[in-house]
Structure 1
């Protein structure tokens, strides 16, 4: 993974990272802290993991830069409470990273080796994954945007996945949920055009060592998993002033080059400026 300078303009900004207790969320929350950002990390269930991250956070930036909250992104009142906590503690909200998600392990622990056909998926599991991965980012963005509009700037980053994986046999409802989130990313970016708020999708670019990967996989598969920290350098760039004209786009972390950030964009060119 290529490294990059930490944008000085991020120092003092405030970010919400949903699902911040492990995997990609943990890596991004700690990466933001190291860049001088004050972070609220949320989890619906994994509070013990958030508490462990708190010790790492204090070592990086001190206790005054970190706040861990229990919040279920599928609940409108929880989304509103997280935003209110950011404004009450630090008086601003600059960044929302929609990372919280539910994956295929809820469908079957053998999802990587045995495909579950869509009609075999438990409807309650389908609803849970869609509610978390689609409705959750909507509710969080809906709660966050008014404060960003008032400030005249903001960054929303939705964590996505490879398009090939979206279409992979047996990957319902996880694949459809991320396809919906990418559609929302493009639409929200257009809705917010001219406001100073950008909306983009960020993805690792391959299978990553997160809580969504079931235990007991063959060693050769585990060895090929990406480090969650791979998303941190492109995330910091997306949040920087250098990317203020980039909106409605996908950024693939495995393509990241510090000397050519545009190489990580999934398509040539830039989106319409915010």
Structure 2
């Protein structure tokens, strides 16, 4: 009975999130056949930073749709957070979503949220490091949230997740497709995304996974229809001209909904190998395989 009710709720939510018919059938085009399945969603506990709206909220909804025991969503705005948790509980059942206030710039606060999550639900199986800002004018905060916040999340997950009864867990860092290329008008934001890619590849190396049992991967969304895009639009980048040009570029790129990024996240939680990178752009999930450095450098001279 519960599964049937959950399915009906999830279908209703998906329909509500759709903005165009094409979304529903192209969210994930990667095949599952023959893939190693690392984790089932049933009875798992997830923590999502920046989970009160946008990609984080969409992720929480999808994980609950797929059977997660509970999802803790975090953010800075308490009213928004409580309402988001209320909405998710209305769709999926009382007590399945909880809001906790978290500033990812504060390590102690981050640690307390993780400890409270584990004390309340008995484990922490999934961490989605999703909180981020795009505001080069306040570049110290941009680095602190987008990169240092990810580092705090990874380090705390590696400290606490091995205490799960299963001795396993998964961390997904949200890096964005600008982690693979240059975005000329938001250089500091772009640098943080490149940093998250490097962090993920390094901490996700097999040598670490073999010792910890914790998979670390990156979900790299393209332009997604979220509050972040609209909220950051009014904030200055390094110059007024760059602000305008940055959003002209963003406006020209293909968009996707948070329904797509939620489905992509669920897929890589189940099937993603440690250290892998997963762009999700225009409602399609890809696995990125950056070439080895030796294959793309050209010799200039002996020095």
Q: Taking structure 1 as the reference length, what is the TM-score of the superposition?
A: 0.78
Distance 1:256 1:225, change over 3 A: closer
Task: Measure the CA separation in 1 of the matches of 2:87 and 2:256.
Answer: 21
Specify the alignment match of 2:225 in structure 1.
209
Root-mean-square deviation (CA, aligned residues, Å) is: 2.8
Task: Measure the CA separation in 2 of the matches of 1:268 and 1:77.
Answer: 35
Give unmatched runs, 5+ long, in structure 1.
Answer: 108-120, 258-262, 270-274
Specify the alignment match of 2:177 in structure 1.
162
**What are the Cα deviations for residues 91-117 of structure 1, in whole angstroms up to 9, with x where unaligned?**
1010000000111xx34xxxxxxxxxx
Deviation at 1:159, TM superposition (A): 0.5
**What are the Cα deviations for residues 57-80 of structure 1, in whole angstroms up to 9, with x where unaligned?**
112322321110111011011110
1:15-54 matched pairs, under 5 angstroms:
15-37=46-68, 38-44=70-76, 46-54=77-85
2:224, 2:258 within 8 Å by CA — same for their partners in 1?
A: yes
Give unmatched runs, 5+ long, in structure 2.
Answer: 1-22, 29-36, 235-246, 292-303
Specify the alignment match of 1:111 in structure 2.
none
Specify the alignment match of 2:145 in structure 1.
132
Relative contact order, higher structure (CA 8 A, sep 6+): 2
Task: Measure the CA separation in 2 of the matches of 1:253 and 1:130.
Answer: 23
Distance 1:198 1:62, change over 3 A: same
Task: Measure the CA separation in 1 of the matches of 2:275 and 2:67.
Answer: 26
Specify the alignment match of 2:14 in structure 1.
none
Task: Measure the CA separation in 1 of the matches of 2:227 and 2:153.
Answer: 22
Task: Measure the CA separation in 2 of the matches of 1:180 and 1:47.
Answer: 29
What secondary structure does 1:63 align onto?
coil
**What are the Cα deviations for residues 184-203 of structure 1, in whole angstroms up to 9, with x where unaligned?**
00111126221321111102
Question: Is 1:86 the counterpart of 2:99 in the alignment?
Answer: no
Deviation at 1:224, TM superposition (A): 4.6
**What are the Cα deviations for residues 188-221 of structure 1, in whole angstroms up to 9, with x where unaligned?**
11262213211111022x2111222135889x94
Task: Measure the CA separation in 1 of the matches of 2:124 and 2:179.
Answer: 34
Q: How many residues align?
A: 239
Task: Measure the CA separation in 2 of the matches of 1:184 and 1:221.
Answer: 29
**What are the Cα deviations for residues 160-188 of structure 1, in whole angstroms up to 9, with x where unaligned?**
11147751112121100111111100111
Question: Is 1:192 the counterpart of 2:208 in the alignment?
Answer: yes
Q: Taking structure 2 as the reference length, what is the TM-score of the superposition?
A: 0.71
1:256, 1:264 within 8 Å by CA — same for their partners in 2?
A: no
Query: Could you list the runs of 4 or more consecutive aligned residues of structure 1 that deviate by over 4 angstroms after TM superposition?
Result: 215-218
Highest Rg: 1 or 2?
A: 2
Task: Measure the CA separation in 1 of the matches of 2:200 and 2:290.
Answer: 18
1:165-176 matched pairs, under 5 angstroms:
166-176=181-191
Task: Measure the CA separation in 2 of the matches of 1:222 and 1:59.
Answer: 36
**What are the Cα deviations for residues 3-61 of structure 1, in whole angstroms up to 9, with x where unaligned?**
67xx99211111110000111111101111111211110002x3222222122211232
